[in-house]
Amino acid sequence: MKTLERYIMRRTLYAFTLTIAAMTGVVWATQALRQLDLVTSKGQTIVQFIGITMLALPFLIMIVAPFALMLALILVLNALSGDSELIVIDASGGSRFLVLKPVLLFSFAVMLLIGSLSLYIAPGGLAQLRTEITRVRADLVANIVKPGKFISVEGGLTFHIRNRTGNGTLDGLLLHDTRDAETAFTYQADTGQIVEAADRTLLVMNNGTIQRRPKQEGDISIVRFQSYAFDLSNLIPEAGEPVFKASERTTANLFAPGKNDAYALKNSDKLTQELHERFSQPLYAIAFGLIVFAFLGKARTTRQGRGAAIVGAIACCVILRTSGFGVTAISGGPTALLGLLYAVPIAGSVLALISIFKEQRSQPRWLSNLQHTVQDRIEAIGNRLNNRQTGGAS
């Protein structure tokens, strides 16, 4: 790789890394807010909340990577043009392909990144996210024990807690149990903790009392304790098997789902569409790279504003990706429409290549001489006018 190519690749990598980090962080924050109930109503800690929501990060990176590539190339090519580096390359006889080569190489690397995320990493993360969400929803403490409320777990058993701290400690615990035919038990404790021990789920209460009251006749007895374990194993609902959607299944499963897979039998069209989406999404990286280069890869003087070229590149990339999303929305039915998933990014790449090669063709010598002559005449007239104005002012 030549020095110029390494230079462009290095600058593009730096811009791409910063851009994708910023964009992914913003998108992750918006998506994480949708799962905020894991902390508020489901009783999970902040660490668990971050760990669960981070499972969707590969999928988010896959979505924003083409746009991060677009912005990185715009920044780099615009900087090369602003610093007159593209003009120097053009004036020294260098071809536009000297700049196009590193752009294509970097776009190809991003395409491989998106492909690996789309085919392998992102589905695994989404599947694990589905499993964790299912587990949280089956958690007794997350769904039943809520601060400030009297919750009836089952007939004759009522929970109440004053507060639940970030590490899972239950403050101000009250447990009233009337399931026994002869005696009612009331447990009060300053703190409590749910622990797993010997394949049992225990509520370990600290610094409290147990009140035993006969349901018929008799005196109430009170027992104080420093630590007491209440068995919750028979109250924990079994976490059902999660039902994985098309985007949460491995690529191998999309090719050959199980014969007894109810979701696959009912939604075979969605599985087929998801499979084609995973193979077509990486193509947008090449399309975006070519589109940006078609607009900004040409040497421009300072008098030729680059703003219109930047707006044009962004608009074309956004329109292309929006078209891809639109095709995804309508391709869920007939199988023939699935070819449009590939046609959209390929068409964008082809049109960009046509534009690049069309501009690369050299003009006839007579036309170049005419342009230089007209430009020289205009500059001469402008110099005369400036000289007259200077003389008149003096």
Predicted confidence band of residue 165 (pLDDT cuts 50, 70, 90): confident
Contact (Cβ atoms closer than 8 angstroms) between residue 313 and residue 330: no
Portion of the chain with pLDDT greater than 70, in percent? 76
pLDDT at res. 239: 46
* Euclidean distance between CA atoms 102 and 16, whole angstroms: 14
Q: Give me the pLDDT at residue 6, please.
A: 87
Query: pLDDT tier at 156 (50, 70, 90 boundaries)?
Result: confident
Q: End-to-end alpha-carbon separation of the chain, Å?
A: 58
Each residue's pLDDT tens digit, 353-384: 988 887 655 444 544 454 456 556 656 666 77
Q: Which residue, among 264, 284, 261, 275, has the nearest Cα to 331 in the 3D structure?
A: 275
What pLDDT is stored for residue 32 in this prediction?
A: 76
In whole angstroms, give the CA distance from residue 146 to residue 137.
14
Among 41-45, 66-70, 261-265, name the one with the lowest average pLDDT: 41-45
The contacts of residue 294 (CB under 8 Å, 6+ apart) are 313, 352, 355, 356, 359
Give the per-residue pLDDT at 318.
Answer: 93
pLDDT score at 193: 83
How distant, in Å, are the alpha carbons of 16, 117, 314, 322 from that of 111?
A: 13, 10, 19, 18
pLDDT, mean of residues 184-194: 89
Q: Which residue has the higher pLDDT, 13 or 159?
A: 13
Q: Give the Cα separation of 76 and 13 in Å (integer).
A: 10
Contact 59, 96 (CB under 8 A): no
Residue 263 predicted with pLDDT over 50: yes
**Residues 268-321: tens digit of each pLDDT:** 888 888 899 999 999 999 999 999 998 888 766 554 557 778 888 899 999 999
**Whole-angstrom distance, CA of residue 369 vs CA of residue 85:** 24
**What is the pLDDT, as a whole number, of residue 97?**
79
Give the model's pLDDT for residue 210.
Answer: 92
2-7-8-11 Cα dihedral, nearest 10 degrees: 160
Give the H or E element holding residue 231: strand 221-231
Look at residues 170, 172, 147, 145 and name the one whose alpha carbon lies nearest to residue 159.
145
The secondary structure of residue 241, as a DSSP letter, is: P
Q: In this predicted structure, what is the pLDDT of residue 51?
A: 80
Q: What is the structure's pLDDT at 344?
A: 93
Whose CA is closest to 309, among 319, 320, 298?
Answer: 298
On whether the CB atoms of residues 300 and 82 are closer than 8 A, the answer is: no
**Can you tell me the mean pLDDT for 152-165?**
80
CB 133 within 8 A of CB 52: yes
Residue 27: C-alpha distances to residues 20, 33, 60 (Å) = 10, 10, 7
Residue 392 has pLDDT above 80, yes or no: no
**What does the mean pLDDT of the chain come to?**
80
Predicted confidence (pLDDT) per residue in 109-135, tens digit: 999 999 999 999 999 998 888 887 776
pLDDT tens digits for range 14-48? 999 999 999 999 888 887 777 666 555 455 567 77
Cα–Cα dist 271/277, whole Å: 10
C-beta atoms surrounding 95 within 10 Å: 11
Q: Distance between CA 172 and CA 174 in Å, rounded?
A: 7
Residues 193, 196, 200, 202, Cα dihedral to 10°? -10
Residues 6+ apart with CB under 8 A from 313: 70, 74, 291, 292, 294, 295, 296
Most confident of the following: 4-8, 90-94, 100-104, 111-115 = 111-115
Residue 229 has pLDDT above 50, yes or no: yes
Higher pLDDT, 138 or 222: 222
Residue 259 pLDDT exceeds 60: yes
pLDDT at 362: 47
Question: Which one, of 331, 288, 285, lies nearest residue 313 by Cα?
Answer: 288
pLDDT at residue 336 greater than cutoff 80 = no
Of residues 331 and 81, which shows the higher confidence score? 81
pLDDT of residue 106: 95
For residue 194, the cross-strand partners are 203
pLDDT at 103 over 90: yes
Domain ranges for the chain? 3-137+243-255+262-376, 145-235
Q: Which two tokens stand for residue 14?
A: 């730096």
- Ranges of H-type helices in 83-159: 85-91, 97-116, 122-137, 140-143
Give percent above pLDDT 90 in the chain: 29
The predicted pLDDT at position 343 comes to 92
pLDDT of residue 376: 63
